[in-house]
């Protein structure tokens, strides 16, 4: 799913706009997106199939070459689907959807282009879907050599059916519901959370996202009171991306061992042991200097802590995830299902097995951590 912001699009104020004006702009933006995205129907069809088959799926994911504002937008991924294995390793599929049939559309160029996108987002598999363009055998072979599945016409529908393999339709990615999703994010449009998640999140996609997502969420948390449906949608969608960064920390901790998990968590937040040691040494020197000059006195005000206040809570969350990996890796799907249910989807069938129930509990733990870390007054209940 893409978020309704762009570095060169008009944006709402970072303040709280008048509700009527905000709703009008939200509706206008979603309608404009639907009219200008000629491939949207195909993207939503593919997104529905991938999400039903067990992936957390987003449409129109913006990619960036730099974190600088207004220089970020390069291209986007039409459909990006992600899930994790028991070692918290990422399994990603990127899909390019093309419904046009003009001579200007070059299948070979699209195949090579997608190969670069796959490398950028650390995806293993790519799919190029041409609904109106014939594909010659040598282009399919080119796709095979680049680990890209090339589909045309009826093959697209057959591929989507093979993904769900008779599973019930969860009702995800219906066009009306997707437009409502866009409207929800338009309420927090501008240089902030929505802008960061749309572009810079995918530029960093590493330890920096833990602190950055929380920092951006903190700026809008006062508006997310639970009084309107879009509040829950924004929180659930953000929580999934925060979850992915926590999975990265889980993998880091798992590789290094669980001993001193709090210390390793702090190191991860600062980009590694060497960076954290340098920051800590500098912090100690500044503290010593301020003490020697009388700026800091015993029992008086002190420097703010070096580590974020939520470091301990984050370390505890990581331990819970690592203790129940079968359940933890289902969290993105649990949050995704709750989000689409709010948009009117039927959702997945309720499961009473131990793993599913544990996944719901861990999903709530993640939301509760997000609430504490951002100072929010409310988060949805799973």
The CATH number linked to 139 is 3.40.1350.10
Residue closest to 2 by CA, chosen among 21, 22, 29:
29
Q: Work out the mean pLDDT of the chain and round it to a whole number.
A: 86
Indicate whether 179 belongs to any domain. Answer: no
Q: What pLDDT is attached to residue 23?
A: 53
Kindly state whether residues 230 and 276 are assigned to the same domain.
Answer: yes
Kindly state whether residues 261 and 353 are assigned to the same domain.
Answer: yes
Indicate whether 54 belongs to any domain. Answer: yes
Kindly state whether residues 332 and 240 are assigned to the same domain.
Answer: yes
Indicate whether 122 belongs to any domain. Answer: yes
Cα(237)–Cα(233) distance, integer angstroms: 6
Burial (CB count within 10 angstroms: exposed 0-12, middle 13-18, buried 19+), residue 290: middle
Indicate whether 257 belongs to any domain. Answer: yes
pLDDT greater at residue 87 or residue 349: 87
Indicate whether 188 belongs to any domain. Answer: no
Compute the average pLDDT of residues 50-61: 94
* C-beta of residue 366 within 8 angstroms of C-beta of residue 243: yes
Per-residue pLDDT at 68 exceeds 70: no
Cα(323)–Cα(325) distance, integer angstroms: 6
Which helix (H) or strand (E) element contains residue 128?
strand 125-130
Residue closest to 76 by CA, chosen among 56, 96, 57, 92:
96
Kindly state whether residues 210 and 304 are assigned to the same domain.
Answer: yes
Kindly state whether residues 222 and 368 are assigned to the same domain.
Answer: yes
Q: What is the residue whose two structure tokens read 């299948």?
A: 107
Kindly state whether residues 136 and 233 are assigned to the same domain.
Answer: no
Beta-sheet pairing, 73-84 with 56-64: antiparallel
Per-residue pLDDT at 229 exceeds 60: yes
Q: What pLDDT is attached to residue 33?
A: 53
Compute the average pLDDT of residues 128-141: 91
Q: What pLDDT is attached to residue 29?
A: 45
Indicate whether 31 belongs to any domain. Answer: no
Kindly state whether residues 292 and 380 are assigned to the same domain.
Answer: yes
Identify any residues that bridge with 315 across adjacent strands, giving them in sequence order. Answer: none
Q: What is the pLDDT of residues 194-210, one digit of tens each?
A: 888 887 888 888 889 99
Count of CB atoms situated within 10 Å of the CB of 102 = 7
Compute the average pLDDT of residues 345-364: 92
Q: What pLDDT is attached to residue 166?
A: 82
Host domain of residue 264: 206-382
* C-beta of residue 244 within 8 angstroms of C-beta of residue 332: yes
Kindly state whether residues 126 and 241 are assigned to the same domain.
Answer: no
Indicate whether 194 belongs to any domain. Answer: no
166 φ, ψ (degrees, to nearest 5): 80, 5
State which of 169, 189, 222 marks the end of a domain: 169
Q: What pLDDT is attached to residue 127?
A: 96
Could you tell me the two tokens for 339?
A: 């989000």
Kindly state whether residues 145 and 291 are assigned to the same domain.
Answer: no
Per-residue pLDDT at 268 exceeds 50: yes
Q: What is the pLDDT of residues 158-195, one digit of tens each?
A: 999 999 988 888 999 999 999 999 999 999 876 689 88
Kindly state whether residues 360 and 212 are assigned to the same domain.
Answer: yes
* C-beta of residue 199 within 8 angstroms of C-beta of residue 2: no
DSSP label of 65 = S
Read off the pTM: 0.85
Kindly state whether residues 160 and 211 are assigned to the same domain.
Answer: no
Confidence of residue 139 (pLDDT cuts 50, 70, 90): very high
DSSP string spanning 121-174? TT-SEEEEEESSS---HHHHHHHHHTTEEEEETHHHHHHHHHHHTT-----TT-
Indicate whether 144 belongs to any domain. Answer: yes
The proportion of the chain whose per-residue pLDDT surpasses 70, expressed as a percent, equals 88
Per-residue pLDDT at 104 exceeds 70: yes
Could you tell me the two tokens for 293?
A: 């000059």
Cα(330)–Cα(335) distance, integer angstroms: 9
Cα–Cα distances in angstroms (integers) from residue 19 to residues 16, 186, 188, 192, 343, in the given order: 8, 12, 12, 19, 20
Kindly state whether residues 138 and 219 are assigned to the same domain.
Answer: no
Number of domains in the chain: 2
Per-residue pLDDT at 266 exceeds 50: yes
93 φ, ψ (degrees, to nearest 5): -120, 130
């Amino acid at each position: 799913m893409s978020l309704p912001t762009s570095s060169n699009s008009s944006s709402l104020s970072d303040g709280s706009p008048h509700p009527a004006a905000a709703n009008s702009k939200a509706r206008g933006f979603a309608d404009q997106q639907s009219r200008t995205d000629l491939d949207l129907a195909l993207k939503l069809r593919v997104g529905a199939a991938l999400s039903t088959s067990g992936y957390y799926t987003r449409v129109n994911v913006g990619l960036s070459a730099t974190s600088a504002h207004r220089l970020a937008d390069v291209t986007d991924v039409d459909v990006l689907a992600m899930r994790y294995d028991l070692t918290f390793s990422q399994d990603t599929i990127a899909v390019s959807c093309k419904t046009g049939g003009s001579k200007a559309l070059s299948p070979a160029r699209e195949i090579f282009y997608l190969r670069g996108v796959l490398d950028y987002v650390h995806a293993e598999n790519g799919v190029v879907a041409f609904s109106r363009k014939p594909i010659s055998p040598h282009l399919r072979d080119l796709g095979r050599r680049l680990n890209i599945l090339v589909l045309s016409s009826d093959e697209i529908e057959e591929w989507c059916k093979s993904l769900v393999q008779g599973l019930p339709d969860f009702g995800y990615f219906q066009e009306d519901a997707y437009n409502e999703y866009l409207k929800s994010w338009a309420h927090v449009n501008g240089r902030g959370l929505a802008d960061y998640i749309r572009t810079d999140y995918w530029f960093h996609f590493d330890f920096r996202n833990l602190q950055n997502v929380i920092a951006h969420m903190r700026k809008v948390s006062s508006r997310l009171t639970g009084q309107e449906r879009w509040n829950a949608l924004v929180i659930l969608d953000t929580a999934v991306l925060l979850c992915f960064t926590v999975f990265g920390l889980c993998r880091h901790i798992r590789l290094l061992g669980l001993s001193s998990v709090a210390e390793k968590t702090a190191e991860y937040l600062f980009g590694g042991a060497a960076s954290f040691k340098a920051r800590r040494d500098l912090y100690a020197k500044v503290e010593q200097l301020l003490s020697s000059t009388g700026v800091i006195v015993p029992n008086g005000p002190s420097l703010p802590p070096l580590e974020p206040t939520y470091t301990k809570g984050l370390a505890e969350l990581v331990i819970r995830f690592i203790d129940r990996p079968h359940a933890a890796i289902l969290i993105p799907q649990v949050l995704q299902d709750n989000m689409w249910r709010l948009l009117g989807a039927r959702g997945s069938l309720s499961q009473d097995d131990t793993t599913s129930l544990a996944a719901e509990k861990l999903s709530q733990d993640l939301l509760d951590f997000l609430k504490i870390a951002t100072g929010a007054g409310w988060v949805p209940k799973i």
